[in-house]
């Protein structure tokens, strides 16, 4: 596929509300960065991260390019705030999985819309996923506590659930959005505590809040798309 055709496919199928919301959030982040003297790495992390999330929600493969850039910024932010779970998660898992996602999604694109073909897990898979997440979260929290993480409970839960969420993202499963709702909500609370205590990462706080809203929005959108595909 030529570059021009790829770009045309990636920007097709957007709703007006999605485009308006994207630009509004980016302008808000830039406004905060200027007037609140935000950390410039936090600003880039937020912008790239939001672009990744909304483009992934649209089922467009270009999301991973923004995801890789956002991950690099977030690794630096997490390490500076002693959030070792998030640091190693992004460095050792997110970046390799996003690279893998590029090649995996390429094989499951709808030839007409150029969006990925979405799936839903079986009941057995959902049960195994829930049990695995419970055990994994407990182990991760204990590990981070022993590593003197600054917030071992929330960092531990979000770290392990993010592993599950990224796996489900690459698999194109609608259940990923349920996991992301939990991760994004807890991450917002974690960064809210850091900002209240003096960390200049306002854009990161906004980013997690937007992630939370987008996860709810795209869960609804993906459910509608799956119901439509079954009725066709």
pLDDT, tens digit, 9 for 90 and up, residues 141-163: 999 889 888 788 988 999 899 99
Residue 232: predicted pLDDT: 61
Per the structure, the count of domains in the chain is 1
Q: At CB < 8 A and 24+ separation, what contacts does 163-168 make?
A: 163/89, 163/93, 163/136, 164/129, 164/132, 164/133, 164/136, 166/93, 166/94, 166/97, 166/98, 167/97, 168/121, 168/129
Structural contact between residues 109 and 115, judged by C-beta atoms closer than 8 angstroms: yes
The mean pLDDT value for 9-37 works out to 82
The mean pLDDT value for 215-232 works out to 88
Q: Which residues contact 152 (CB under 8 A, 6 or more apart)?
A: 85, 141, 144, 145
Residue 223: predicted pLDDT: 95
- Residue 71 structural domain: 3-231
Q: Which residues contact 126 (CB under 8 A, 6 or more apart)?
A: 175
**pTM for the predicted model, two decimal places:** 0.84
The mean pLDDT value for 41-51 works out to 88
- Residue 1 above 60 pLDDT? no
Residue 48: predicted pLDDT: 92
Residue 7: predicted pLDDT: 65
Residue 2: predicted pLDDT: 64
């Amino acid at each position: 596929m030529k570059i021009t055709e790829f770009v045309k496919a990636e920007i097709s199928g957007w709703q007006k509300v999605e485009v308006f919301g994207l630009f509004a959030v980016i302008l808000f982040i830039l406004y905060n960065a200027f007037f609140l003297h935000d950390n410039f790495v936090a600003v880039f992390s937020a912008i790239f991260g939001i672009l990744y999330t909304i483009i992934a929600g649209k089922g467009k493969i270009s999301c991973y390019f923004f995801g890789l850039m956002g991950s690099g910024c977030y690794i630096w932010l997490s390490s500076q705030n002693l959030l070792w779970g998030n640091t190693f998660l992004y460095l050792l898992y997110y970046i390799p999985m996003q690279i893998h996602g590029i090649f995996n999604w390429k094989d499951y694109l709808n030839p007409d819309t150029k969006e990925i073909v979405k799936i839903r897990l079986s009941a057995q898979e959902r049960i195994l996923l829930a049990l695995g997440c419970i055990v994994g979260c407990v182990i991760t929290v204990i590990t981070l506590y022993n590593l003197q993480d600054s917030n071992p409970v929330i960092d531990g839960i979000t770290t392990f659930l993010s592993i599950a969420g990224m796996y489900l993202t690459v698999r194109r499963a609608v259940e990923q959005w349920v996991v992301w709702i939990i991760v994004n909500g807890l991450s917002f609370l974690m960064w809210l505590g850091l900002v209240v205590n003096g960390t200049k990462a306002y854009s990161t706080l906004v980013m997690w809040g937007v992630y939370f809203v987008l996860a709810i929005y795209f869960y609804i959108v993906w459910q509608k798309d799956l119901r439509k595909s079954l009725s066709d």
